[in-house]
Amino acid sequence: MGLHRGLSTTCVHAGELADAHGAPHTPIYNSTTFGFPSTAALLDVVEGRRDGSLYTRYGLNPTIKSLEAKLACLEQAETALAFCSGMAAESALFLTHGRHGVVVLGDAYGGTLELVGQQLPELGIRTHLLLGDELSRLEAVLQGGAGVLFCETPTNPGLEVFDIRGLADLAHGHGALLAVDNTFATPVNQQPLALGADLVVHSATKYLGGHSDITAGALMGPRRLLEPVALWRKNLGQVPAPETAALLMRSIRTLVVRVRQQNATAAAVAQALQGHPRVRRVLYPGLPDFPGHNLAARQMAGFGGMLTLELDGGFEPTARVVDRLRVFTIAPSLGGAESLVTQPVTTTHHGLSSEERARRGIADSMVRLSIGLEDAEDLITDLRQALDATA
Ligand SMILES: *Cc1c(COP(=O)(O)O)cnc(C)c1O
């Protein structure tokens, strides 16, 4: 990697395998197993004296290894592990490093809340879910003992921004690791490891994949922390298929241009909708009056492609606006080329009681937008016609 400096160059070239035929990109090695010229050569790989391909479920497959080299470079990490989903990466992380306790700060992905809030406690693991306005309790909770402090920043769907450096210092002061879910920000906009985090998690299903056509995950960090995670991944059987690994590498080559375009379009949409008579609030870290703006401006290189609107009125009038959109598709998920819209109350936060949603600041009138690669003017026109038609 010595020659590659910028992130765009890294995305295109890092990790690519030069094969004997001169293909510019890593080929798809669909083999489940790999042959050896001798027993001694096989034992060299099995006993760790030599790197080599062995068995795909172990992750010892050239396509998966090649993807992992690229993933590590994206987050300037020593090493990376590829997974078959974002939740696979999170569950392997918590089973490895969270057995002495897991603390989740802020709102988080629904699967994360279910895993940490319900399933890990069933295994006897102590967990705490703290919201951003309970930050003052974090130190006391960490004092009680925890292996991992985990957060998203910005969060879903409120785009709350947390101080990564401050949280890393606090976690380290109490012997815990800080793991940041960097799915929303992407490495283009935010580099948590450079800010002091120990581990970065991605749902590569979102921006890294970028086309809503692959499910994958990633974990980046130092070798000493990832080696034990690789054992869980191996025996839980969580590696991505080689085809998926190759598709993900294909997608990452265009990550920087996609995300920068999505940043710019999201900013244009946020500005255009601010002050619209039917829009009570636009939640977007790039807006100067957004509560997390100054912190975001310090720790992020761009403000991302996700924004949330709070409309005037309740669930029904909001659903009517959503149903009138023509360019946006009504769907959960995010980070693809096509713009998506969802009311968090119908998808990401549907399983919570109304009291819990209120506690988390999830209003029935919230609309989350994942900005795609369409023209900003078309997205703004679409949103305006839907808002105006239902006024
Ligand atoms: C989607 C998502 C996940 C889970 O990823 P999968 O690939 O669906 O398993 C985790 N964190 C965030 C922030 C997500 O958006």
Q: 352 and 370 share a domain?
A: yes
- How far does CA 355 lie from the centroid of its chain? 27
> Cα(218)–Cα(256) distance, rounded to whole angstroms?
18
Q: Which of 83, 85, 87 to mutate to test the pocket of ligand 1 (most atoms within 8 A of CB)?
A: 87
| 203 CA from centroid of ligand 1 (Å) | 4
CATH assignment of the domain containing 313: 3.90.1150.10
Q: pLDDT band for position 4 (50/70/90)?
A: low
Q: What does the pLDDT look like over 316-351, one tens digit per residue?
A: 999 999 999 999 999 999 999 999 999 999 988 888
What residue ranges line ligand 1, CB within 6 angstroms?
85-87, 109, 111-112, 152, 156, 181, 183-184, 203, 205-206, 215, 217
pLDDT, tens digit (0-9, with 9 covering 90-100), for 162-195 = 999 999 999 999 999 999 999 999 999 999 999 9
Burial class (CB in 10 A: 0-12, 13-18, 19+), 284: buried
Backbone angles phi, psi at 342, to 5 degrees: -150, 145
**Cα–Cα distance measured from residue 133 to residue 110, given in angstroms and rounded to the nearest whole number:** 19
Query: Which 8-state DSSP code applies to residue 193?
Result: G
Q: Going by CA atoms, what residue is nearest to atom 8 of ligand 1?
A: 86
In this prediction, residue 76 carries a pLDDT of 96
> Cα separation of 370 and 358, whole Å?
23
Domain identity same for 309 and 263: yes
Q: Return the percent helix, strand and coil in the chain, to nearest 5.
A: 45, 15, 40
Domain-located, residue 235: yes
Task: Identify the residue whose C-alpha is closest to ligand 1 atom 12.
Answer: 109
Residue 39 lies in a domain: no
Instruction: Provide the annotated active-site residues.
Output: 57, 109, 181, 206
- The total number of structural domains that make up the chain: 2
pLDDT digit string (tens) for 113-138?
999 999 999 999 999 999 999 999 99
Same domain assignment for residues 145 and 267:
no
pLDDT at 74: 97
Assess if residue 265 is contained within a domain: yes
| Same domain, yes or no: 169 and 114 | yes
Count of residues in the chain: 391
Measured from the Cα of 111, ligand 1's closest atom is 4
In terms of domains, do 110 and 227 share one? Answer: yes
Closest ligand 1 atom, residue 108 Cα: 13
Q: For a substitution probing ligand 1, which of 152, 190, 205, 207 has the most ligand atoms within 8 Å of its CB?
A: 205
Where is the domain boundary, 252, 285, 308? 252
Q: 118 and 70 share a domain? A: yes
Both 232 and 327 in one domain: the answer is: no
**Chosen domain end from 252, 270, 301:** 252
The alpha carbons of the chain give a radius of gyration, in whole angstroms, of 21
**Mean pLDDT computed over 50-73:** 97
Q: Do residues 184 and 154 lie in contact, with contact meaning Cβ atoms separated by under 8 Å?
A: yes
Q: Are residues 282 and 372 in the same domain?
A: yes
**Helical H segments across 37-163, by residue range:** 39-46, 62-74, 86-97, 110-114, 120-122, 138-143
Q: Is residue 345 within 8 Å of residue 334, measured between CB atoms?
A: no
343-263-134 Cα angle (round to 5): 55
